[in-house]
Amino acid sequence: MDLQKMREHNEALEASEEYLRIEDELEMEVARAIVKAHIKALKKQHDPKTRARIAELQALAAENPLKAVDTLRGMGFCHTYWYWRKRILKRKYRMVWYTPQEIEPFTCFD
């Protein structure tokens, strides 16, 4: 698929009734998945200092996953976000969504 068709596809998807209906739920699911993956990675470190961070993230995620994921933002975070967004849209909702990196392959994203 060429880049213009990918852009048009995303625009049509993001304007569709079905997508608009699930958009808020999708954001929460993406946040939960990112936090869960981060906690899993922290547990592999076997560092006593990470226990407190894991407990903090788990408590914050239980209260508000969007706030928890905000604490994880940094350089390169957009790629993690896009990965989980694309994956959840495909697996749970059977929707194809193209990441900005796929649509703009010659643009650098942090």
16-51 tens-digit pLDDT: 999 999 999 999 999 999 999 999 999 998 888 888
Q: If you ran DSSP here, which 8-state letter would residue 95 be given?
A: -
- pLDDT given at position 78: 96
| Spatial separation of the C-alpha atoms in residues 34 and 67, rounded to whole Å | 12
| Spatial separation of the C-alpha atoms in residues 71 and 61, rounded to whole Å | 10
60-87 tens-digit pLDDT: 999 999 999 999 999 999 999 999 999 9
- Residue 1's pLDDT band, with cuts at 50, 70 and 90, is confident
